[in-house]
Structure 1
Amino acid sequence: MAEHSESDSKGESFMDTIVEKLHSDDSSSSSFESNSDKNPKSSVKTKIFRLFGREKPLHKVFGGGKPADIFLWKNKKISAGVLVGATAIWILFELVEYHLLTLVCHILILLLATLFLWSNATTFIKKSSPHIPEVQLPEEPILKAEATSRNGSAKPLA
């Protein structure tokens, strides 16, 4: 019975030294003892009020600002929206086995159909048509790319 109590006390003291070393700033046990002797209340406060002995608040650990607010559920509507969106994407790709390329193509088709219907509906409702910027590509780089793909050289044919 005496052997059992000695092994328990040795096991507890061994665990205490491990916990002390994990919570100390320096790996040497002498520096931990000197720090705890100087100000024992500060080390107790950090162990009680800070998870894993952190010195910064959790909001600062997550980087502060909007991302930290989302992670910590400070703005519940945005956090819920992110959670619902991530769940919908997971369901779409994992459970339904939808592919990213198919999704991008369907979104582009819907965008083109919307623009087509909007531009045609403007004549009936007397509104201005959507402004689609005009794209002008310079002729020389296109000719060089065409010549390179045709001959394998960078000289234009013209």
Structure 2
Amino acid sequence: MSGMPISPYLHSLREVVGHRLLLLPGVTAVVLDDAGRLLLGQRSDNGTWALIAGSMDPGEQPAETVVREVYEETAVHVVPERITSVLTQPPNTYPNGDRTEFVDITFRCRAVGGEARVNDDESLAVGWFAPDDLPPLNELNTRRIAWALAPDADAWFSGTAPRRP
């Protein structure tokens, strides 16, 4: 998975399965601060701005993963508040030929400490953005933000009519 670090667990799987498609559990964080701003990272692999996300490690609960990933990438401490979506992302092929398909759980999270900064090699930049002044984001990230900002919305999952805020 060129451009992004690979966990020891995933590395051990790749030694066995090579580049074949792996279905992987992952999480995404829609992080809000007290001013209602969103935390985003500029990805080092493709330069685009995105929500903070990552893969689960064996033995980890999804909420633990989201807390760990946000801190590892941005140095911000968060508390997960609710699940906003559960979905399978489209398959992705990395430059080295590795193929993945993530089953993603997105959490709305509240920032409770830390100062946003680049905290690992997965981001070129991190920052807080007002919801009406976001950098360009892909459609899935835009939908995740809308679902997270909708007051008292149920979590979206396939098979239901998405509740559009």
TM-score bracket for the superposition, by shorter chain length: under 0.3
Task: Point out the structure with max Rg over C-alpha.
Answer: 1
Higher RCO by CA contacts (8 Å cutoff, separation 6 or greater): 2
Instruction: Give the TM-score normalised by the residue count of structure 1.
Output: 0.17
Whichever structure has more strand as a proportion of its residues is 2
